[in-house]
Structure 1
Amino acid sequence: MGWFGGKTKDAESTTTTTTGALPVVPGYLAGTWTIDASHSEVSFTVRHMAVSKVRGRLGSVSGEIVTSQDPAGSAVTAEVDVTTVTTFNEQRDGHIKSGDFFEIENHPTASFRSTSLTHDGDDFVLTGDLTLKGVTKPITLGLEVSGFGPDAYGGTRAGFSAKGTINRRDFGLSFDAKLDNGGLVVSDKVDLELDIEAVLNA
């Protein structure tokens, strides 16, 4: 499946989705799946000083995916341990964990609960509620189903990837340092990317 993520806009823009029959996924399996934390991650990218990008990673993801007989009824709930955030720079990571950004002492986790699965042409569109720093807002993700198949241990696995964009200020991440030219040290726009592997429950 192609990406819808390239068309995902900020909160001021709109996208067109379709609620009819979803695209067919080869090998599709209905069931309840547990997210494999050791093979899943959430990453993000922000623009720094208006000239470069900083990439970060949240490695501890848990939750459940339900693939319904009618794919439109599928759902996901997930939780991310925000204390695991890393940008591979200790000083910067300390700042990101502070009250200027994640405030991990009071908000150690973020969560996502889907509310609908639709499509735009051949591309899946996953909508849900993201809770970050105690604030819950709807977001839209372009979803790619990587596939379903057996693993090396006699089980069955599924892979999913998703992309989207949020405005960090919508969630209270309001660090506001400015450059001499008036630009932001850290962009408001944050690009999200998720790679999820899940195991079919027995």
Structure 2
Amino acid sequence: MKKLSLTLGILLFAFASTFAQKISPDQSEVKWTGYKVTGQHNGTVAVKGGELKVKKGVVKEGTIVIDLTSLTSLDLQGEWQQKLDGHLKSADFFDVEKHPTATFTLKEVAVDGDVHKLKGDLTIKGVTQEVAFDSKLKSEGKKHTLEGKLKIDRTKFGLKYGSDSFFDNLGDKAIADEFDIDFKVQTI
């Protein structure tokens, strides 16, 4: 009977250790930087939720949901900040009224030392594109923190406003096609 109990206990522990853990919106953060000919803008956007499944120190599955309605610039204040934030949330860019969230769904992981090379599907404005980037996983007890950086080509998601890849004679009004994301997500 002890042998059966021990076997069931080991199986239950192994099964329970592979459950996906919810991502904490309060302990997660996403920072963005967008570039233009005359400089750059930066800001934050909130993590709405998601899940990570970690087994033996390796991310196995994951989904991260970003709340685009929270998109905020940090390099401007007052009226200028309101104008930029409103424009980024408009149909020219993220169209948050119709598409309030963006989602990343993990498809593949390769581990190289302490680097997790992640590949997955990113959906923005209803358009899904595959993205790949490096990240690092830190674990403390049952909590896991995944951190990384990636470049996103906004035009692949239909965000073409101000892109000199699509419009001529923009001069110093041109906005770079790629923007940077620096993220940290933590499980509960």
Short-chain TM bin: 0.7 to 0.9
Structure 2, unmatched stretches of 5+, are 1-16, 75-80
Higher strand share: 2
Q: Secondary structure at the match of 1:105?
A: coil
- What's the TM-score, normalizing by structure 2? 0.77
Cα deviation code 1:10-56 (max 9, x no counterpart): xxxxxxxxxxxxxxxxxxx75421101001122211113x2422112
Q: Which is further off, 162-171 or 184-193?
A: 184-193
Please name the residue that 2:144 is paired with. 158
Structure 1, unmatched stretches of 5+, are 1-28, 150-155
- What's the TM-score, normalizing by structure 1? 0.72
2:105 paired with 1:113: yes
Higher helix share: 2
Cα displacement (A) at 1:188: 0.6
Query: Sequence identity, in percent?
Result: 29
Q: Which is further off, 80-89 or 170-179?
A: 170-179
Within-5 A mapping of 1:33-48 = 33-48=21-36
C-alpha contact 2:38 2:172 (8 A) present in aligned 1: no
Please name the residue that 1:83 is paired with. 69
Please name the residue that 1:18 is paired with. none
Cα displacement (A) at 1:159: 1.1
Within-5 A mapping of 1:64-143 = 64-69=51-56, 71=58, 74-88=60-74, 89-120=81-112, 122-143=114-135
Cα displacement (A) at 1:135: 0.3
From the CA coordinates, give the structure whose radius of gyration is larger: 2
Cα displacement (A) at 1:58: 0.7
Q: Secondary structure at the match of 1:85?
A: strand
Cα deviation code 1:142-186 (max 9, x no counterpart): 11113323xxxxxx3221101111111000111026697735532
Cα displacement (A) at 1:132: 0.2
Q: Secondary structure at the match of 1:93?
A: helix
What is the RMSD computed on CA atoms of the aligned residues?
Answer: 2.3
Q: Identify which of 55, 59, 82 aligns with 2:42.
A: 55
- Distance in 2, matches of 1:105 and 1:181, equals 27
User: RCO higher in 1 or 2 (8 Å CA, sep ≥ 6)?
Assistant: 1
C-alpha contact 2:23 2:52 (8 A) present in aligned 1: yes
C-alpha contact 2:114 2:136 (8 A) present in aligned 1: no
Letter matched to residue 45 of structure 1 = T
